[in-house]
Structure 1
């Protein structure tokens, strides 16, 4: 079994590509969805966030006030690093467990949808291939402002909090250009899906062994943490 990392920049269209791959039958593990699971009221990461940031980042029902928390972490890189240190271990724990379940079921590959794949770098060494969803900076800015109802200054601040897309593109195995029409993006995703299906990487002993080691460590971490 081999692992494929899917990433991009904020508002570059990664979620669209992730959805298309899922519709084609790929097993997609979405880090954003896992992030919501680990910060549910009462969860370990939720308790740590409340302890550090206080009740000001909570709604009346106890759920995270994502807008307020976003304002804090995108204005202060140190606070952003602290938040990541509180949530990422829990996210990785669930992710590794799900990879393990796919592995023992005999799946050839899994897509790991991780927004900060390159920024954190912790899971990157385990990826056989990486996919970066790209678009122009102007498109990224416009989409982000429209989607999140942000000012230009706020949107630029969030973009600058991530590694530049151009840098990720240079490091990627595959690039999906999402600057055109949805039809164009869909065609690229279908072509890429075909390449992944035809890949023989999962037959390489080195990758199989590394997968076994990774998921075994993940299970041990999950059980004994």
Structure 2
């Protein structure tokens, strides 16, 4: 479920990045790549909770900044598929940035302020309801953490690295080396776990994951 928000001008993006915020009802959902954050999000939606998905917002932002990204990273990232709804080939862009930390940092400098601004705009809409909602932000700690997002509670979804790699290879049709590069591009999972309030282990079945999500919800309610 993507969040479609209007485009933001540069002043909106700048003020969103600098203005202190406090999200009283927002709970961050983060973790390593291919650990199962989306599965947790689906379970939460089925239980009636709103989810702000940073990845969905990021996909929209890529298209909003498409011309700037193509000028920066080359015409090779432009989609040539006439059936593609967007104009950025995310796989081609990924091959560039996941193999070069400097280029990844450059991409993040272009996209992260816009992504952050749209996440906060949607969160402010949900705050008025005065009930828990979740912010699915894979790069939460890498992009500023609690200080930038103004949240109190962080939930980390974890999984064994071999499971991460297997899921990533299957989901994204990647080779082992490509999957390893994407895992290593993120903050080590153990560091995310150490900075989180609640950890959901996702090494088992869907039923086991549902039980752990329900336990987490019980913790939030008490």
Shorter-normalised TM-score: what interval?
0.7 to 0.9
| SS of the residue 2:142 aligns to | helix
Equivalent residue for 2:218?
194
Equivalent residue for 2:75?
55
| SS of the residue 1:75 aligns to | coil
Determine if the alignment matches structure 1 residue 23 to structure 2 residue 34: no
Q: Please give the residue correspondences for 1:164-175 in structure 2 after superposition, counting only pairs within 5 Å.
A: 164-175=188-199
User: How far 1:124 moved relative to its partner?
Assistant: 4.9
Q: Please give the residue correspondences for 1:139-154 in structure 2 after superposition, counting only pairs within 5 Å.
A: 139-154=163-178
Q: Which structure has more helix as a fraction of its residues?
A: 1
Q: How far apart in 2 are the matches of 1:53 and 1:131? A: 34
TM-score when scaled to structure 1? 0.81
User: Number of residues paired by the alignment?
Assistant: 194
Q: Which runs of 5+ in 2 are unaligned?
A: 1-23
Equivalent residue for 2:144?
121
Equivalent residue for 1:220?
none
Q: How far apart in 2 are the matches of 1:123 and 1:85? A: 19
RMSD: 1.6
User: How far 1:110 moved relative to its partner?
Assistant: 2.3
| SS of the residue 1:5 aligns to | strand
The answer (yes or no) to whether the contact 1:38–1:90 under 8 Å persists in 2 is: yes
